[in-house]
Structure 1
């Protein structure tokens, strides 16, 4: 054992079209890049020589030394995103025989990896499994005196078979080595469940920009820093981790300082809604055309976000469908009367969408629009309607929830 922090997990190339992004990070690489500005570390992974060289170049300017211990792979894995909220595809497929790394240190941040397994032995472990069916943290002879799991709500439900998140946490905490579990709920914040303690609410910190790729990696890395290295309490470490995530999604920069986090914690009101209270926020009306393939595709991406976050919504296509224009219009306007927020996609300047937005403003509803390719002249109209317009889909969707 030694007192240097160890980070274990995947190092991958990530590409995205909207917004443009092309970098070699992956969960472990991104965490190492953040942590090396605050503490020495050793990074353990399996990747190609080309990817390891690119990551080493990115780590050259860090404040502390990051020692890279890579097992070479013939080809590195690339994750491709069409947009930052979408589900990625990856290539190549992992080799049928998975390498197994053994890592020992006082403190370990462990991410689940696509193409290899790890056995970790440590005093403190932060475990972010990265998938919904992970192996236990102590599989294969691994051990830790204290463990904190960092999961999203989908993973927590899938791992335990429990729909209620508190019940899911109780199931996970049946293992006495697991000191706590953090269950992240996206836009609504997170819940911290610690052995023998009441649950703690961890708010998210709203931002104008929202770059989602790697946001969970940053949360886990920052939490590991403030709990394992800076020795803060679990609730304090989780709040700093949430602030670090906000700093990252707004700037896409892992060079995050304590001063930035302190300023954000003091200046920004955290946003937290208990899961059982989400329906009381009212429905979001999805105003968008759905008459061709590209329009339908984007509408599906929008409603997928609301469904994953368990946000009630009304979509004219899904809730009314096709029919006579008069009948559809009447049903859509009636639905607007029963919604609190409108989310509109206006790139195509569809007349029906514009009518819905105007009607919503007449009703005094909060309106948020996504417009990637709209002229400044047309944007003036949305400004006049007091619609909040965003050129990025993730930012538009998140702010439609945060600001209502």
Structure 2
């Protein structure tokens, strides 16, 4: 399989992460864990030399086209918006790569573009900012699958309804498949035949979000483009592999164990109560950041500390930022336990025994806490609807 995508340095403060992968590098490493004879075509600067060598040691044939400088994505945490250096506007985007293969995975680039020729191609545009058509630069393929998230799909189609947007793109792009990544909701697979399949997200003990979309696209390409598996089955395997990668950030996938991965049995949504303290600037920042992250995951958030005018706290799950909790919050958390409301505790420092006793899940990681809570809320809502 031939992967065509970016090689970018990634930095993250919490949790600590420093690796030069990007969409192309990560996807090639994921594919090489499942297939022999993987190729990567990418742009690289002289500073990226050691990263290229590291990828080559995995048996991947790397073809590089020169760029002036490295490109760095810096995150405070995996759900934060990255700082990009050089800034997008300062990156020249007119360089060109040409690549061919029976099965090709093409990503969008910051610093250029790729013209590909394939029997089966998977295209992940990697941006909602006016993403170009697969065909616009002269790329060709006999069968095309597009993999994108909901924001990218709606931006390309200019339609809000997910199914209508997918059908529009299937026709516009002459695609066989459109796979829509939906975060905590899993993924939806739309085929030109009219078949629609919804694939669940799968649980992981930890959630490291940087690059999970790259893993999904890579695994989908392996099984659909290379092994010619039905797209719904390829997407389900991709979702399982994402779960495994979130746990370890490694590429030593154990395919048999993937069948043991637990699906998240919800369609997303739900209402979450966020508990914490806002007495200090750091506490207030964490609470605001958590509320924003949860809303980005598609759930409604109520917060007694930040929403003083809101009354009524019936919720599907509770997230506790355990740092100086006021007495009223402790009382509400105790009531949650009595009412069988799932409670997720972000426990970055010593936590009161009473809070830990009420916890359904406890984690020290911010991103993991957001996902555990969103999953719990969605599952509670799904059970309530079924009753």
Determine if the alignment matches structure 1 residue 273 to structure 2 residue 266: yes
Q: Does 1:31 align with 2:27?
A: yes
Correspondences of 1:5-404 after superposition (within 5 Å): 5-37=1-33, 38-60=35-57, 62=58, 65-93=59-87, 94-96=90-92, 98-132=94-128, 133-175=130-172, 177-256=174-253, 260-265=254-259, 267-274=260-267, 278-279=268-269, 282-320=270-308, 334-336=311-313, 338-372=314-348, 374-375=349-350, 378=351, 380-403=353-376, 404=380
3-state secondary structure, aligned to 2:171: coil
Q: Is the 8 A contact 2:100 2:116 kept in 1?
A: yes
Cα distance per residue 1:317-354 (max 9 Å; x no partner): 55435xxxxxxxxx5xx522x21211110134444433
CA–CA separation in structure 2 for the residues paired with 1:240 and 1:161:
29
Conservation of the 8 A alpha-carbon contact between 1:189 and 1:273 = no
The answer to which of 212-221 and 119-128 deviates more is 119-128
User: How far is 1:175 from its partner?
Assistant: 3.0
Matched residues in 2 for 1:350 and 1:83: separation?
Answer: 26
RMSD, matched Cα: 1.9
Q: TM-score, normalised by structure 2?
A: 0.90
Shift of 1:196: 1.5
Tell me how far 1:301 sits from its aligned partner: 1.9
What's the secondary structure of 1:235's corresponding residue?
helix
Cα distance change, pair 309–207 in 1 and its aligned pair in 2 (3 A): same
CA distance in 1, matches of 2:55, 2:116: 26
| Post-superposition offset of 1:226 | 0.9
- Does the CA-based 8 Å contact 2:277-2:325 persist in structure 1? no
- Equivalenced residues, count: 373
* Stretch moving more, 201-210 or 37-46: 37-46
Q: Deviations over 1:232-266 (max 9, x none)?
A: 1111111111111111011110222xxx233222x
Q: Would the alpha carbon gap of residues 192 and 385 (structure 1) be closer, same or farther in structure 2, given more than 3 Å must change?
A: same
Preserved CA contact (<8 Å) 2:266 2:375: no
Provide the C-alpha distance between the structure 1 equivalents of 2:173 and 2:208, rounded to a whole number of angstroms.
36
Whether contact under 8 Å (1:7, 1:44) holds in the other structure is yes
SS at match of 2:76: strand
Could you say what secondary structure the match of 2:344 adopts? strand
> What's the secondary structure of 1:364's corresponding residue?
coil
Q: Is the 8 A contact 1:17 1:81 kept in 2?
A: yes
Q: 1:291 to 1:159 in 2, by over 3 A?
A: farther
Sort the Cα spacing of 1:67 and 1:300 in 2 relative to 1 into closer, same or farther, 3 A: same
Cα distance per residue 1:357-396 (max 9 Å; x no partner): 2232233321111122x12xx3533332244211001111
After superposition, the C-alpha distances for 1:154-191 in whole angstroms (9 at most, x for unaligned) are 11112112111101101101136311100111011110
